[in-house]
C-alpha cells in the first residue's frame, strides 16, 4: 500500500535523508535572521560609537591644546568651555548619521569650535558652535555659496543635513 505525499514533503524527506540533518524550520530561520540582524545592528552601533569616540578624543586634545589665549600666535581667545560642551552634543548628533565622513575639528580665534567637511577644492562645508545653542554654517559648492545661523535644539537642523548631502551625493 502506498501513501500519497506532496512534492514539498518529498523534498523535505529527501533532504533529511541525504544530509542526515532535519530541514530548517521556519522558526529556526526566523531566529537566525533575527540574530544576523542583531549582529548587523551591533556592527552599525559599534561604527557609530567608534566615530563618536574618535571625534571626542580629537575634541579633547584640541581643547587642551587651545586652552590658553594666543594659541594661534595672533592673540586668539582660548576655546570657550560652553562651546566644548556644545561641540560634544554636536558630535553625538552628527555621529549617528554614519553616511557622512568624520569632520575635522577646527579651533577658531573667537574661541568657537568648528567642524569641517573638506571634500576637494571649493567643495567644503563648515559648522561652528559657540555655546549659545546656535550653529553657524558656511559652505562652498563649486560656484555656489551658503551661510547662515540655525538654532541648535534637541536635534540637528535639517539644513545642516541638506548641505552635507549636497557635498557627498
Beta bridge mates, 127: 115, 137
* Candidate ranges 46-54, 91-99, 102-110, 159-167; the one touching other proteins (CB under 8 A): 102-110
Applying CB under 8 A, does 126 fall inside the site for other proteins? yes
Between 20 and 142, whose beta carbon lies closer to other proteins? 142
Between 95 and 107, whose beta carbon lies closer to other proteins? 107
Applying CB under 8 A, does 111 fall inside the site for other proteins? yes
Applying CB under 8 A, does 117 fall inside the site for other proteins? no
Sequence-ordered list of residues with C-beta below 8 angstroms from that of 10, at least 6 positions apart, any chain: none
Residue from 52, 63, 95, 114 in contact with other proteins (CB under 8 A): 114
Cα distance from N-terminal residue to C-terminal residue, the chain = 68
How far apart (Å, rounded) are the C-alpha atoms in residues 168 and 164? 6
Applying CB under 8 A, does 106 fall inside the site for other proteins? yes
* Candidate ranges 3-11, 86-94, 119-127, 153-161; the one touching other proteins (CB under 8 A): 119-127
- What is the Cα 104 distance to its own chain's centre? 14
Residue numbers 35-64 binding other proteins by CB under 8 A: 62
User: DSSP characters for 76-116?
Assistant: PPPPPHHHHHHHHHHHHHHHT-TTSPPPEEEE-TTS-EEEE
Amino acid at each position: 500500500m502506498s501513501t500519497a505525499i506532496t512534492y514539498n514533503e518529498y523534498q523535505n524527506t529527501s533532504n533529511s535523508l541525504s544530509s542526515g540533518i532535519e530541514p530548517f524550520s521556519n522558526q529556526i530561520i526566523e531566529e537566525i535572521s533575527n540574530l544576523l540582524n542583531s549582529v548587523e545592528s551591533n556592527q552599525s552601533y559599534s561604527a557609530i560609537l567608534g566615530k563618536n569616540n574618535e571625534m571626542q578624543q580629537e575634541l579633547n586634545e584640541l581643547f587642551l591644546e587651545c586652552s590658553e589665549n594666543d594659541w594661534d600666535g595672533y592673540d586668539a581667545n582660548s576655546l570657550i568651555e560652553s562651546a566644548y560642551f556644545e561641540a560634544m552634543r554636536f558630535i553625538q548628533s552628527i555621529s549617528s548619521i554614519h553616511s557622512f565622513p568624520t569632520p575635522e575639528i577646527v579651533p577658531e580665534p573667537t574661541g568657537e569650535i568648528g567642524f569641517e567637511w573638506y571634500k576637494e577644492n571649493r567643495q567644503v562645508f563648515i559648522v561652528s558652535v559657540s555655546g549659545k545653542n546656535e550653529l553657524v554654517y558656511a559652505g562652498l559648492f563649486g560656484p555656489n555659496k551658503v551661510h547662515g545661523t540655525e538654532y541648535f535644539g534637541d536635534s540637528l537642523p535639517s539644513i545642516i543635513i541638506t548641505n552635507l548631502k549636497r557635498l557627498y551625493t
